[in-house]
Structure 1
Amino acid sequence: MKLDDTFRASTRLYDCNPRAIYEGPIKEFLIEHEIPHRKSGPLNVAKATVGLDITWATQRRPSAVAKEVVHLVNYIEEDNTRINSVAISLLRRLINESKRMESINIDIEPSFDPVFLNKLCFELITKVPDSGNTPQKISALLLKNYHIAMNTGIIVTGEEDRASVTSTTSKKPGDVNEEAPDGTIYKVYEITVKTFDLARIRDSYDCIHIYNENTENDILEIIVICRPEDCPTEMYKSNLHLFMGHFKYQDIVYYYWNIYEWMADTLQRMIPQARASFYKDLNTYISHINTAESVKLKWQALHNN
């Protein structure tokens, strides 16, 4: 391997095109060796930064971690011969981390008990929401397996996205969608365990409005699957448990569903085969190298009780 001895991350970070390097050879290596990794989003902490120095580090959160990055950069740049030993140490740590995460994963016995599965989902969403990834993944997998087992022909999208992916990035409205095979969107779902108030409604409306204009579509209804405390105070409340109320913003209506009631209802409406498949898919997701450790540990604990 040949290194550029003139490169200095402390003063000219973007001379090396860090995002392209990460998305290319680095990410391929991490995937091949099943080492936990995420998308290149974390590189945004250094976006438009000239160099990784103390000035940069003090503006980051947590600054203590950023300062350690700067110390490592300075350590390497003081003596370029250190790069090999640092790289070997880093690889050793990454491989050990991969093995440690693998040891947390569990094998499950098939189950189609809706009460048992609902308890698992409830515990995951309430205890380890993982920035919204847990409820979004559970909701997508429930819908997907329901439609597959019922042979409806409806395609559920959004399963592979993380909660941090915006509608602008994915170029589709909502977190999870029910679609026709040709891509026509039938139903849009927003899945959240954070307040879905007027500010988020405006953001959602803007994305849907742009999507409707670009596709000549006519999406005018959104299902928000959330907790009761996530509903806007301005919402017209219902007297029901699952359907909590609605809010109309310009020409789009937002219907709010209780996420816990909806999960229980959906699991009981699914045929046993669909529930068993959902359970298997959920375990596969949690066993994935990039699923948060907190989710893995909670899943393990739920099956040890």
Structure 2
Amino acid sequence: MTSSSHRNERAKLYITEQIEKARHKSESDFLSLTNYNEISLLLTSLIDTKSKGFRGVVATALTGMYLDPSFDPLNNFYACNPRSIFENGIFFAFQGQIPCGKSDPLNVAKNQYVLNEDWAAGKRPESAALAVVHFLEAVVDNSSDRETLISFYFFRLVEYAEKVKAIDIKIPDSNSLSQQEIGHRLAVFVYTYPESGTTPQYVASLLFKAVYEKSSLIVVGGEESVFGTNTTSRKAADIWIEENNKPVNLYEITVKKIDVKRLNDSLHALNDMNMIDSNIHFICRLPEDVATLSILKDGTYNYQGKKFNFIDLRGFILTLVALLTTKQLKSIINELTSFIEDVERPISTKDGWNNIFNTS
């Protein structure tokens, strides 16, 4: 085992042990902290948020201090090699137990060496970022209570995960809703709870695969972000259709602004993957996601000699739902219910699903 892999394994074991110890704690175990009320509020701010990145920064900082007692997370956060210990250690300890993504700390602290109030300014939510800074300050400055503070963090983390898991996800009654009623509610759900694109990509993947399930064409992609892999930089699209192992149609599923930079990135990816001649479609919210581009002509935008196709996400969902059988749609709803039940889904997304799909 290399030194790096050994370090990552130690990180994984540290987190695993902290989680296990936390399961045997109660809130009363931390009342003796002199600044209990202040720390309690900080932990609520940084843990009870749908933004996983801030929880990941703290977990990485605490792990870095465990691996190297001289590590200073506030002034040299990157000295612990956060990408390596999180993606190859902490992530595997959290997976299935604590809500997390593949690269949580990098999502909010990429290339950041100093974690202070300047770093926190403008973060979303800023209250969570400030809580990260002030909680780590308390840990670094208080050697006598350090272990108790760390245990308190993991206790609250486990408590939050249990709260997420406890939410009962309702399965929509596909017998009482027409197909287009389901389609419209699915579109509302995707627009309202996109989770940075994870939800629309997963929904599009399920719809595509159902439509093509009896075809010789193969649907690839769409589920990577759900299962924590990070392949964005190595692919030309979120989803593509293959014929005889060759991509023929490429699809980018997004709920973010599509501007000239995004088209440039797409062109580079297409060239890198030798797919420049493939049809590429952006399935997005029209017209808001293309507001910075000049007017589309017949759903097409010509940029540097490449024609990009644009399809409205809501219309796409409604159309593909109309192509499905009742059995196929029911299967998709069941898969989506399992997706929503996963510990990775934020509480707001779970509650949103229940509210949208279980109203008469």
**TM-score bracket for this pair, using the shorter chain length:** 0.7 to 0.9
C-alpha contact (below 8 Å) 1:168/1:207 kept by paired residues:
no
Between the aligned partners of 2:346 and 2:269, the Cα distance in structure 1 is 28
Aligned to 1:21, which of 85, 90, 93? 85
The residue aligned with 2:28 is none
Between the aligned partners of 1:248 and 1:80, the Cα distance in structure 2 is 61
Between the aligned partners of 1:96 and 1:168, the Cα distance in structure 2 is 32
Between the aligned partners of 2:239 and 2:70, the Cα distance in structure 1 is 47
CA spacing shift, 1:85–1:129, aligned 2, 3 Å:
same
The residue aligned with 1:268 is 322
Q: What is the letter of the counterpart of residue 236 of structure 1?
A: K
Aligned to 2:271, which of 205, 209, 228? 209
The residue aligned with 2:145 is 82
Determine if the alignment matches structure 1 residue 69 to structure 2 residue 123: no
The residue aligned with 1:224 is 282
CA spacing shift, 1:301–1:250, aligned 2, 3 Å:
same
The residue aligned with 2:295 is 234
Q: What is the letter of the counterpart of residue 292 of structure 1?
A: P
- Residues 113-137 of structure 1 show CA distances to partners (whole Å, capped at 9, x for unaligned) of 4223202212213322333332222
Aligned to 2:253, which of 191, 204, 209? 191
Determine if the alignment matches structure 1 residue 259 to structure 2 residue 313: yes
Aligned to 1:10, which of 67, 74, 78? 74
Q: Which runs of 5+ in 2 are unaligned?
A: 1-13, 15-65
Q: How many residues are aligned here?
A: 289
The residue aligned with 1:280 is 334
Give the TM-score of the pair, scaled to structure 1: 0.81
- Residues 89-123 of structure 1 show CA distances to partners (whole Å, capped at 9, x for unaligned) of 11221111112112224141563742232022122
Q: Per the alignment, in what secondary structure is the counterpart of residue 228 of structure 1? A: coil
CA spacing shift, 1:12–1:197, aligned 2, 3 Å:
closer
- Residues 30-86 of structure 1 show CA distances to partners (whole Å, capped at 9, x for unaligned) of 115x21111224335444444434554458665554333232222222232423212
C-alpha contact (below 8 Å) 1:167/1:207 kept by paired residues:
no
Between the aligned partners of 1:289 and 1:254, the Cα distance in structure 2 is 36
C-alpha contact (below 8 Å) 2:99/2:344 kept by paired residues:
yes
Aligned to 2:303, which of 229, 245, 249? 249
Counting aligned pairs with the same residue, the percent is 28
Determine if the alignment matches structure 1 residue 127 to structure 2 residue 189: no
Aligned to 1:161, which of 211, 217, 225? 225
What do you get for the CA RMSD once the two structures are aligned?
3.0
Q: What is the letter of the counterpart of residue 253 of structure 2?
A: I
User: How far did 1:154 drift?
Assistant: 0.9
CA spacing shift, 1:265–1:4, aligned 2, 3 Å:
closer
Between the aligned partners of 1:81 and 1:135, the Cα distance in structure 2 is 48
CA spacing shift, 1:181–1:120, aligned 2, 3 Å:
farther
Between the aligned partners of 1:22 and 1:186, the Cα distance in structure 2 is 36
Determine if the alignment matches structure 1 residue 143 to structure 2 residue 197: no
CA spacing shift, 1:267–1:45, aligned 2, 3 Å:
closer
CA spacing shift, 1:260–1:48, aligned 2, 3 Å:
closer
Q: Which runs of 5+ in 1 are unaligned?
A: 238-244
Q: Per the alignment, in what secondary structure is the counterpart of residue 75 of structure 2? A: coil
C-alpha contact (below 8 Å) 2:116/2:133 kept by paired residues:
yes
Between the aligned partners of 1:7 and 1:167, the Cα distance in structure 2 is 30
C-alpha contact (below 8 Å) 2:251/2:282 kept by paired residues:
yes
C-alpha contact (below 8 Å) 2:164/2:346 kept by paired residues:
no
